[in-house]
Each structure stands twice: as C-alpha cells, then as structure tokens.
Homo-oligomer: A and B are copies of this chain.
Amino acid sequence: MHIQIDPKRSTPIYSQIMDQVRLAVATGVLQPGDQAPRVRELAEQLRVNPNTVARAYRELQAEGLLVARQGSGTFVSDDAEAIGEREQRRLLQEMLDEAARTADGLGVEREDFQKMATRAARSIGRRRARRLSDEQ
C-alpha cells in the first residue's frame, strides 16, 4: 500500500487520502476483505495527524467503501469494487459537468469544449505507461 499525498496541493489532505484509497481498491491493490492501513500507522507514514486519516476513513465508510470494526481495524467492504467504480465515475462526471457549466457561462461553444476535452484526454494513458515502465 503506497499512498502518497502532496500537502502543497490545494485539495484537502483528507480528500487526497480518499482518492488514493479509492484508487487502490479500483486497481485491486486493496481487495474486499483486506485490512486497510491502520489509522495511526498511515498517519505516521504520511506525516499527518491521525485525525486527518480518521476523517478520510470515516467518509469512505459513509460511502460504503470501508467498514471499521472497533478494536480490530478498518477493512475494505465486500461490495467495494462496485461502489468504488460507481463513486469514481460520479466524481469524474461531476468535474466535467462543472467544466461544462463554466464553458457555458463563458460563452464557449459545444464543439470547442469537445476539442478542449480531446486535447486534455491526450495525457491519459501516457502517465500510466510511464508508471508501468518505471516498475520494470
């Protein structure tokens, strides 16, 4: 479980942690039934306050992705894959809808928006390819 956060980014840390855990589930690094990193341990590793990790976990529990059992740890829920997939799409669609709303507000035409999206999409896959080759 390699979770990385960047305290310089404007995205709140607890939210970055949520993203990373969702990603770990989506990629199968964390599987249903697995124990998620312990709160204090992860906090220490990320050099972050335990409360911050706890908050991320708490919100992921509300999403249904994690389940906590007092005294024994936090675990990936049985239906985590479906939930992770769904949540992932939902968040992404939300970002794109927001962008479309902005475009609309600025008077950008639909075709131009599409072109810009295509341009942005070019970066998809490259990074992944790079990551994979890094791991070799």
Residues of chain A at the chain B interface (Cβ within 8 Å): 7-8, 12, 19-20, 22-23, 26-27, 62, 67, 69-70, 72, 88-89, 91-93, 95-110, 113-114, 116-128
Contact = CB atoms under 8 A, between A and B. Distances in A.
Contacts of A23: 105-107
8 contacts: A8-B69, A19-B105, A92-B106, A101-B123, A104-B123, A104-B128, A113-B117, A117-B117
Nearest to A96: B120
A129 to B, nearest CB: 10
A26 B101 contact: no
A27 B103 CA distance: 13
Specify the main secondary structure of chain A where it touches its partner: helix
Contacts of A96: 96, 99, 116-117, 119-120
A113 B119 contact: no
Contacts of A22: 106
Given A100-B124, A116-B93, A119-B93, A107 B27 contact: yes
B123 A19 contact: no
A120 B99 contact: yes
A113 B121 contact: yes
Contacts of A127: 101, 104-105
Nearest to A118: B114
